[in-house]
């Protein structure tokens, strides 16, 4: 088998991700047109992240809807590894999660994995991870999740609940499995080895709380699938349902290739960036444009390799007709990269101003969302 030109693990995404190949490699299923249609039956419209196949893969999504049809309603689970401030790439799966919460009136468990980030990052302290966890929670709240139906927690501050449930998973999970799944070695620290047990808990926590089995649907970026593959193997052995999942692509960074990553702050827009900083980053972005304006006008740009176009598609232009128009003008050479970036920067700055205002207001609401032991 040919070597892949990309790497996707829960801790590293690099190279040119071939999503079709990734579906095969991970053993997930591509979302078919029929399945998109089924979603639409429940939601009336299709969220732009679904229409545009940004969410493209799943596990057991048909099952979760079969159960729903029988009156066995699902809850949602997603999360965030708080190793720094939230960036735009993190928000993509949360947008769909919010939409699913609204359309299905679903409860949400939102896990801040401060323990994960502590275990896997030599330079991070628990206090730093915890601090970022609560900072990130402000972004979640700012997006407008239903405060009556949303529980946000950090693994450390909810550890009395979490450790007891994680222990049940840990007892069924061997080092051998974590080694095969994540490529761990004998030199891996035992916190990292244990960690998948913690990430598994919210996949059955609502069932624990309710005292009966409740289906769980996890919207997440596909790099986290290995954790849930392990989790799904263990759940039936604990008497719980396997969680279903719906997977999204990665938002690219503003450079050439690679996903948006906090470790490359110049090509990453944080929700805490000043609008001016965000504008500067966008203006300096890599694009699918030609070397000269003359050439651009003659041959047109290439939106398919252009992060600026991706940002329109994944976040800033939710109207399909308008998005098509941007694409058409780019391809036709009618839109220069400079103009395109300035348009995007305007949108991004407006988003940041509005988001940051909501984010500050969220500080007072934090206590309504956070669960602790």
Which residues contact a second copy (rule: CB under 8 A)?
A: 115, 118-119, 126, 155-160, 162-164, 167-168, 170-176, 178-179, 184-191, 193-194, 196-197, 373
- The CB density around residue 191, as the number of other CB atoms within 10 Å, is 13
For residues 227 and 247, which CB has a smaller minimum distance to a second copy in the complex? 227
Least distance in angstroms from the C-beta of 8 to a second copy: 23
Min dist. Cβ of residue 244 to a second copy (A) = 24
Other Cβ atoms within 10 Å of 122 Cβ, number: 7
Please identify, using beta-carbon distances, which residue of 189 and 324 lies nearer to a second copy: 189
Shortest CB 188 distance to a second copy, Å? 6
Phi, psi values for residue 130, rounded to 5°: -65, -40
CA gap 149, 247 in Å, rounded: 22
Residue closer to a second copy by CB (options 27, 123) is 123
Count of C-beta atoms within a 10 Å radius of residue 187: 5
Query: What are 80's strand-pairing partners?
Result: 112
Cβ of residue 97: shortest distance to a second copy, in angstroms? 26
- Closer to a second copy by CB, 167 or 350: give it: 167
- Provide the β-strand partners of residue 247: 57, 220
CB 265 within 8 A of CB 81: no
Q: How far is the CB of 131 from a second copy (least distance, A)?
A: 14
| For a second copy, the closer CB: 155 or 279 | 155
Burial class (CB in 10 A: 0-12, 13-18, 19+), 367: exposed
Output the smallest distance, CB 238 to a second copy, in A: 11
Least CB distance to a second copy at residue 362 (A): 24
233's CB contacts (< 8 A; 6+ apart) are 177
Asked if 247 and 221 count as a contact pair (C-beta separation under 8 A), the reply is yes
Looking at the Cβ atoms of 26 and 194, the one nearer to a second copy is 194
- The answer to whether residues 80 and 86 touch, using CB atoms and an 8 Å cutoff, is yes
Residue carrying the six token digits 């609502």: 206
Whichever of 71 and 123 has its CB closer to a second copy, that residue is: 123
């Amino acid at each position: 088998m040919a070597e892949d030109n990309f790497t996707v693990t829960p801790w590293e995404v690099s190279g040119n991700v071939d999503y079709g190949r990734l579906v095969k490699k991970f053993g997930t299923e591509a979302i078919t047109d029929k399945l998109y249609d089924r979603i639409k039956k429940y939601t009336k419209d299709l969220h732009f992240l679904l229409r545009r196949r940004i969410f493209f893969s799943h596990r057991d999504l048909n099952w979760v809807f079969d159960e729903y049809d029988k009156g066995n309603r699902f809850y949602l689970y997603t999360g965030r590894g708080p190793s720094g401030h939230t960036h735009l790439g993190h928000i993509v799966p949360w947008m769909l999660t919010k939409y699913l919460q609204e359309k299905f009136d679903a409860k949400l468990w939102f896990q801040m994995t401060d323990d994960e980030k502590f275990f896997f990052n030599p330079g991070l302290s628990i206090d730093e991870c915890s601090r970022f966890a609560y900072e990130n929670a402000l972004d979640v709240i700012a997006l407008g999740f239903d405060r009556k139906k949303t529980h946000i927690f950090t693994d450390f501050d909810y550890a009395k609940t979490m450790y007891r449930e994680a222990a049940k998973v840990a007892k069924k999970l061997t080092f051998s499995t974590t080694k095969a799944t994540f490529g761990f070695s004998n030199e891996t620290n035992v916190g990292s080895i244990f960690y998948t047990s913690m990430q598994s808990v919210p996949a059955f926590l609502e069932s624990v709380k309710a005292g009966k089995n409740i289906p769980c649907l996890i919207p997440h970026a596909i790099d986290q699938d290995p954790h849930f593959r392990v989790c799904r193997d263990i759940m039936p052995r604990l008497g719980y349902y396997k969680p279903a999942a719906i997977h999204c692509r990665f938002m690219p960074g503003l450079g050439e290739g690679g996903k948006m990553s906090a470790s490359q702050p110049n090509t990453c827009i944080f929700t805490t960036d000043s609008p001016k900083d965000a504008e500067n980053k966008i203006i300096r972005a890599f694009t699918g444009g030609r070397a000269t304006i003359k050439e651009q006008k003659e041959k047109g740009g290439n939106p398919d390799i252009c992060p600026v176009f991706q940002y329109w598609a994944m976040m800033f232009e939710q109207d399909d007709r308008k998005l098509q128009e941007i694409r058409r003008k780019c391809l036709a050479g009618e839109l220069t990269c400079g103009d395109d970036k300035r348009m995007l920067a305007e949108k991004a700055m407006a988003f940041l101003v509005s988001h940051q205002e909501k984010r500050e207001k969220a500080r007072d609401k934090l206590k309504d969302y956070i669960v602790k032991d």
